Amino acid sequence: MNDTKNTNQDLQWLLCPKCNKKTRLKLRPDTELKNFPLYCPKCKEMTLVDVKNFEILSQQTLTSPPNGKNGKKKKT
């Protein structure tokens, strides 16, 4: 018999490296992320991550969003 299960069953939530809560991302077993800005809705922080086999290989906190040309904050 052909069991045509959807491989989406294998998807797993990517967990935040800081609080271990679910982020908004689901990964496949063969998903690889490189320098991916992962946003955690709980921490409300971005973390730059490398991910392979559901495992976070490296992480780096992005403290402030990159401001392209003008990095100065305007006071109003």
Beta bridge partners of residue 51, listed in sequence order = 33, 56
Min separation Cβ 47 and Zn ion, Å: 8
- Alpha-carbon span 29 to 16, nearest angstrom: 17
Taking CB under 5 A as the rule, which mask of x and - marks residues 7-46 in contact with Zn ion? ---------x-xx--------------------x-xx---
Min separation Cβ 21 and Zn ion, Å: 5
- Alpha-carbon span 36 to 57, nearest angstrom: 12
**Interacting residue ranges for Zn ion, rule: CB under 5 A:** 16, 18-19, 40, 42-43
